[in-house]
Structure 1
């Protein structure tokens, strides 16, 4: 049983606000309540955001044969076809009705670091097919990481940590930051029959920055244990990001901050969005923070490295690559 009728109200954090304490208070309230909030005044121009969306659309409009040449490899780079992911296997009859494209931190093959999970060279469409595409996406990756680090500073203060806690070399200074372009075809979702644009899930990492077009589709469930579950729409925000906390931050905060269930429900309109997933370095140990545990609130999660945690989560989410026939790796 579930219901979804209303739009939720989210706090807005302006990165240009000189009153840091106000930003910290607004963010902390959002993290305790839903784990979702808006970020405005982030310094990425609307013109450039429009260009990123336009270039994303150009890729998804390519013939399927061209897109499949760039099929997601073992490093989770490249194209993910329709139904590739199944985010809510208990309730979905098929996979997600979306296609995507993963772009991570560019590490050349001759760099020893490229052997690590989630590191390595990206897959790129050819310049002949999509001129400027790589240049635009790499610039966006840099800009989004800058914004994410600014948000992480406010999160650190909200957890009573030093502002640069997450910006140290062993954390976001050497991060596994992944850009994901997403395209939802003009399907109509039917939750009662297990058909979704994206099934209900929480994100894996630290934080996610989401930019969307003006088509409503994202829903959140603030209490996953409620019966019935109540799903609320999150309105798109022009020129801003919808930011949500991931499971890693919930672990770090000893469940003080929320990593909230969310999904995408389609109304028949085509929809584009751009997600930027931010995780710390491979060897970073995620363990309950001293400021979030006590004798009455002992650690709820065992320590785990970021790399081990992410590897397992991706394995559980994606279809086997061999199902696409070409075994491209």
Structure 2
């Protein structure tokens, strides 16, 4: 495991700060620099966040045979086993040392909307196996989407657009929003030998909200083309989110804002995180940000 990696400093945006121009300036600088920043004062209580993590742990503590009954389906909903995903195949010798659970916007199977890509019903553990689990996760999904839309309004201002730009029907009125529960196995990563908690990648959506426990593991590389690449740890923030931009927003901003390479390197401790990824209404929607944007 690499031992000389330092931690990076990230701007922190408070959604309760009445000085919106201050928030816009902090966010804009973060988007230009690394595409990563903290968001606090978002309106989700720490007690509820703790409950989400507790319920996530309850699922991952189930016997493997129980989790495999909910194996991820063609709609990308459900369980992904340890080593199932490999995010950096050129450098990884195995898959990621993590297991996950995907939850999307609930769409009944008999709805016409269910025929669209990425739309459909979720898979849920039986109520007798995990009581109130679905209720907690659906509430968190709604709350995280609310926070993501609040952040998107600040991003719109940072791009010199109308504050409601991303609220328009063709943008985020019916977004593709995915909640991912993640559990990292308690083993030591070794990047030199291609062993990672999660391999290096950039996110494909608009923005990602990441809530983690207090176990450090997330690393970012601000310049993916540097040789050698320089990796920096991102410290967890209790009760807040680590937010990063995805490839979609980099494209929509004409590559001015950054979608940054990141990975998870483990130190032998188990790690839990909850990841909320927000895309536009249509995953391949062409850019509607002005082509002559200058920042």
State the TM-score, normalizing by the size of structure 1. Answer: 0.87
User: Which residue of structure 1 aligns with residue 66 of structure 2?
Assistant: 66
Aligned length: 294
Could you say which structure has the higher helix fraction? 1
**SS in structure 2 of the partner of residue 148 of structure 1:** helix
The alignment status of 1:236 with 2:207, answered yes or no, reads no
- How far residue 286 of structure 1 moved from its aligned partner, in angstroms, is 2.8
Q: Could you tell me how far apart the structure 2 residues matched to 1:283 and 1:191 are?
A: 32
User: Which residue of structure 2 aligns with residue 219 of structure 1?
Assistant: 219
**SS in structure 1 of the partner of residue 170 of structure 2:** coil
Verify the 8 A CA contact 1:217 1:267 in the aligned structure 2.
yes
Verify the 8 A CA contact 2:27 2:155 in the aligned structure 1.
yes
User: Which residue of structure 2 aligns with residue 122 of structure 1?
Assistant: 122
- How far residue 282 of structure 1 moved from its aligned partner, in angstroms, is 2.3
User: Which residue of structure 2 aligns with residue 261 of structure 1?
Assistant: 261
User: What does the per-residue CA deviation read over 1:184-225, in whole Å, with 9 as the maximum and x for residues that have no partner?
Assistant: 010110000000000000000000000000000000000001
- Bigger drift between 12-21 and 283-292 goes to 283-292
User: What does the per-residue CA deviation read over 1:132-164, in whole Å, with 9 as the maximum and x for residues that have no partner?
Assistant: 000000000000000000000000000010011
Verify the 8 A CA contact 1:214 1:238 in the aligned structure 2.
yes
User: What does the per-residue CA deviation read over 1:227-260, in whole Å, with 9 as the maximum and x for residues that have no partner?
Assistant: 1100000000001000000000000001100000
Unaligned segments of structure 2, at least 5 residues: none
Verify the 8 A CA contact 1:83 1:98 in the aligned structure 2.
yes
User: What does the per-residue CA deviation read over 1:99-155, in whole Å, with 9 as the maximum and x for residues that have no partner?
Assistant: 000000000011001011111000000000000000000000000000000000000
1:271-282 to 2 correspondences below 5 Å:
271-282=271-282
- How far residue 4 of structure 1 moved from its aligned partner, in angstroms, is 5.1
User: Which residue of structure 2 aligns with residue 321 of structure 1?
Assistant: none
State the TM-score, normalizing by the size of structure 2. Answer: 0.97
- How far residue 172 of structure 1 moved from its aligned partner, in angstroms, is 1.2
Verify the 8 A CA contact 2:254 2:291 in the aligned structure 1.
no
Unaligned segments of structure 1, at least 5 residues: 298-329
Q: Could you tell me how far apart the structure 2 residues matched to 1:145 and 1:94 are?
A: 33
The alignment status of 1:88 with 2:88, answered yes or no, reads yes
User: Which residue of structure 2 aligns with residue 312 of structure 1?
Assistant: none
- How far residue 288 of structure 1 moved from its aligned partner, in angstroms, is 6.0
User: Which residue of structure 1 aligns with residue 144 of structure 2?
Assistant: 144
The alignment status of 1:31 with 2:37, answered yes or no, reads no
RMSD value over aligned CA atoms? 1.5
**SS in structure 2 of the partner of residue 272 of structure 1:** strand
User: Which residue of structure 2 aligns with residue 201 of structure 1?
Assistant: 201
Verify the 8 A CA contact 1:100 1:183 in the aligned structure 2.
yes
Q: Could you tell me how far apart the structure 2 residues matched to 1:187 and 1:170 are?
A: 44
Verify the 8 A CA contact 1:251 1:286 in the aligned structure 2.
no
- How far residue 289 of structure 1 moved from its aligned partner, in angstroms, is 2.0
The alignment status of 1:98 with 2:60, answered yes or no, reads no
Q: Could you tell me how far apart the structure 1 residues matched to 2:141 and 2:66 are?
A: 23
- How far residue 49 of structure 1 moved from its aligned partner, in angstroms, is 0.1
Q: Could you tell me how far apart the structure 2 residues matched to 1:293 and 1:91 are?
A: 36
User: Which residue of structure 1 aligns with residue 251 of structure 2?
Assistant: 251
